[in-house]
Copies of this chain bind each other. A is one copy, B any other.
Amino acid sequence: MEQWLTTLKTETPQAGFELAIKLSRMGVKYTQPDMEKLKKGRADYDENAPFLIQASSVIAQNFNTVAQANDFWKK
């Protein structure tokens, strides 16, 4: 795959949260690289609350990693 991740450092916590979202999406994309299938399958869960919470859970996991990589933006 082409280069898409060069560092876990971000300027701000919000940028870190958005990187966590990217990591979560890339986890999906590596598992299913066919974008047509992805979009088709995703549409069924567009209003599905448990699915959306599960997505938020993966973001939370990745955000923990990104936050650690940035020393929680303490400085």
Contact = CB atoms under 8 A, between A and B. Distances in A.
Contacts of A3: 14
A29 to B, nearest CB: 9
Contact of A60 (B17, B18, B37, B61): B61
B37 A47 contact: yes
Contact-size category for A? 35 or more
Given A12-B6, A59-B30, A65-B67, A51 B52 contact: no
Interface string A19-60: 001011111101110000110111011111111111111111
Closest 7 pairs between A and B when the two form their complex, measured CB to CB: A27-B56, A41-B47, A69-B72, A60-B61, A27-B59, A5-B14, A31-B55
